[in-house]
Structure formats: structure tokens, C-alpha cells
Structure 1
């Protein structure tokens, strides 16, 4: 690839990335907020054991959350999470242009995983998940925080989003109770089961048997649609666990929470994104989820099983969109 080709390709990728972020960041923000919103369906107890009625926001639809964000926080609220998303996307774009075969990008606008079979796809997906997990955590927290985050003061923002424990020992993010388990289950189901089924039913165009079968494609599409029942709850659990901060000190285990000075003065916390109310309700940090199973169980007990299927149709549309390129190949 020559210098001119490289510059042209970089320019095209930059423009497409900018347009993509302008559209996807507000939609992703509304989705993350909707799934992260803590909305217990009944009475709860305060720290002294007294009955305390829940007074947080009740938002049950994706469009409703989008409108609520715009009403309370304005356009700035809609684009919360822009900077971490932009930085991580730039890293991936540069990696794609300089390291991978950028002359043959995928139809979805991202680099395709190596064609090394199901196990190769699984290992690739696991590695990608481990690399991107800290970025996903920071992005989710920047979206759900009630505080204003300046675009060009990353250190200040990290002091709000991460606890002192997480800043001193960043690897603690990987030990967030239940998060890695949920992510690995998500990757295993999508990269192992669904990818294996796709390889079996829908051979790649470069293979010898590249005859398109309407029956096989319909069967795979049905499998993608039915998989929403498994994938959507995993995505909701991942969202709720990702925004759960780790306060563990050396003398505590990974799930116990202690009061910890975050190094910020009180006046630095006075600038809220919303002037009158918070967009969503957040679970108290002194009552964390203790793991993957505990998170799923308590969501069902406190918020109802339907909370696990918030914006399920977006997950379903994502599965359908992933299957369509095969039909158009």
C-alpha cells in the first residue's frame, strides 16, 4: 500500500468513523442507560432496616429513555461516552490499517476475524473481549454517571469514574464480581455456538460449497432470533456489573465494599449533568451484586424478569443484521 493509498484510506475511515459515532453514540447511550437503570418494583429497606418506597425514574422503553436524556441533560447528555468510544475506535482503526489487511474490510465496517474455524474465532473473540473490557467499563460508567465529564480532561474524568483502588490497580477491573463470567458466556455462545452453526449452515463464499440455500439461511436466521432469549439477559447483566465500582482494599475480599476517599473535593462533585433530577436510578454501592448468579437472581427478585429483556428487539435486530450479509454475498 502506497502513501497516497494509505492517506486516502485513512481519510475515508476517519469520515466514516465520525458519521458512525454521531449516529450510534446517542443510541448506545440510551440503550446502556435503559439496561443499567435500577427500578425495583416494590418497597425496599434503608440502611436502618426501615421500609423505604422507591422514588427513582420509571422508564421502560428505548425511545422514552432517549427523550428523557434529551430533556434532562440536553445534547451533551446524548453524547456522553463519546470520548472513550472515539479513542477506542481510533485505536482499532489504526490497528486495522497498519496491521491487518485493511484492503478487504468487512461489510459491517469492521475487520473480520481470521478464518481459522470455530476455535480460532472463539480465541479471537476472547482476546478481543479481554482487550476491550476496560474501555467498555469506562464507556458504560461515563454514560451512566450523573456528573458532567469534560471532553478534554481525561484524568479528572477517570478520578470520577474509577475508585482509587481501580486507579492504583487497574487489573481490579477484571475481577469485578461476575463481569468476566458474563462476558465469557456471551463470547462462548456467540463465537462458539452461533459461529459453529453459521459455518455448518452457511459456508463462506470462498469455500467449495458456496451454494445459497434458502432453507439453511432461514434456519440460521431463526436460531439468531431465538438466541435473543439468551443473549439479551447476558447483555443486561454485563451492563449492570460493568458500572459497579470496586472499592476493595487489600484486607477486604473482592466483593466487600468500604468507604474510600476518592481524592476529589466536595465542590468538584457539584456540577451535575442534570439540573433537577438524575436520568436513571443506580444501585447503592454498599449493596453490590456478589457475582453473575447473584446479579441475575436479584434482578429477577427486585425488578422482575422483564428487566432482563430491556430493549430485546435491539439485540434481535443485531442478530438479523449479522446474518443478512451472508444472504447478499
Structure 2
């Protein structure tokens, strides 16, 4: 453990009044720095959940349940969605993974979160018009990730949370976590997962290690991780108020590319990040509740830490 490596980061957190809760730094497979501003306990990870969903898809592909090129409409043949257009039928698993469904906006904003009546996100997905040719335009689309969660349930017969527990969590010594669900107990996929910072850092290590656990067990296919962690779609047009250079480097399979060369991240609302830096063989994990400057949490990596790794 390097007791000094996080000194500048901690000072910067306090100076900027960032509400960071926990930070863990791993390098060469070992924890070299850790600072708990509060006790490390399970927290909602928001969109960091998406990367877990992606890795479940990679495992399901390897097990023969689905293929990247599968049309997703084929998994919903028993459901009467009258508005499934020809463009909807062109959407593939690949398109969902890289947020290239063709929607102009995310249909989940139309979900009734309060009463949960008439709240079928798959119906909202198919009723939302397809504006762009699937696979050509990035739109940050929570419904796309939900559809992946539902497809895991349909094809494997096991819900996403159970599937990930059997395939990954139990090997990493992670107790089955809480995952908020949608109707019919389908895990949200796009959000809702609760883990500790330590659990999250273990998962980041597994991805950095190309899915290999303890140098012997291939829990996630390496080929899939290689695809997931490189640009699958451009993000130049993604310009919410908080966008920085780190949002314009491209998107993989539910994973963002960073402005720092050859690095990528899991990314969630309010400053949840797992920053993976292969050239340094390092991972930086943040759990936060920063509601005003969440990108400031990510930038701690570049401003206070990267040169020390």
C-alpha cells in the first residue's frame, strides 16, 4: 500500500468540496491506495450497472444463447407490439450494446416511475420512433440496456442478477447484490445495481484482466472484452451540459472511452466511475454522491493521480 499516492486527490476532493465516498486504486493486481471518506457499504451505482449487463451479454454470446447480429425483434414474437416497424426489426444486439438503437431520445423518460402502471419499457422501446439507421448514431438510451436485461431473461431462462451471480459474483466473493427491478422482476440493467467500492474494484480488475480470474478461470470471454473496450460508435454529437472531452472519445459495449489514451471507464450518475488504464495496469474506482460536479470526480484521475502510477 502506498500511503501517499492519494494525498493530492484527497486534498483536491476537500478543496473542491466533491462528495466522494470511497476511492480504491489497484495496480498490477494489488490495492496500492485506498481512502474511505465514509464507511464502504453498498451504494446505488446508477449507470455503472450497464457494464455488468454488457458482460452478461458477452457470456451469453459465448454460451450460444444469442449472437451480436441477432435482430432483437425476434425475441419478442409472443408480444403484441403493433408499432414494430421495419427499422425496429433491423436493430441488433450489437446496436443495443453501443447505444445505436436509432432513437432520438431515451424512451425511459416516458415511463411512469410513480404509479408503475402501464410501465412496460419494452413496449416504450418499440413505440419510440426510429429516427436514425440502427447502428449509426449514438443516443444515450437506458431502454437499450433494459432490453438486453430482458433478452438475457428470455434466452437463458435466468434473470440478469442471478445469471451474473452464477457466472461472476460468486467467484469474486461478492454476495448476491440488490438490483432494482422493473415489472415482472426484470432487473433494470441500465441502473439499480448496489455494490460496495471494493466489490466494484474487483469487477474492474476482472475486466482489465480480460475476464481471467486468478490467472486460470476465463469468466468473461477475452474476445468480447476486447470488443467492448474499443470504439464501436462515435460520440461526437453527445453534448449534455456536463460533457467534457471524456464524453467525445467514443463508446464501446456499455463502456466509455477516455481522453487519456488507451483507457476506458464504467460511468454512473453522481460520480460512480471505474477507470481502467491498461498502459499503467491500473484501475481507479470511485463511489460518490456528487450531484453538482460529477465529471470533477473523474478528472481527479487525470489531475492528481495518473502521473503517480
Q: TM-score interval w.r.t. the shorter chain?
A: under 0.3
Which has the greater radius of gyration?
1
Q: Could you tell me the TM-score, scaled by structure 2's length?
A: 0.23
Structure with the largest fraction of strand: 2
Structure with the largest fraction of helix: 1
Q: Could you tell me the TM-score, scaled by structure 1's length?
A: 0.22
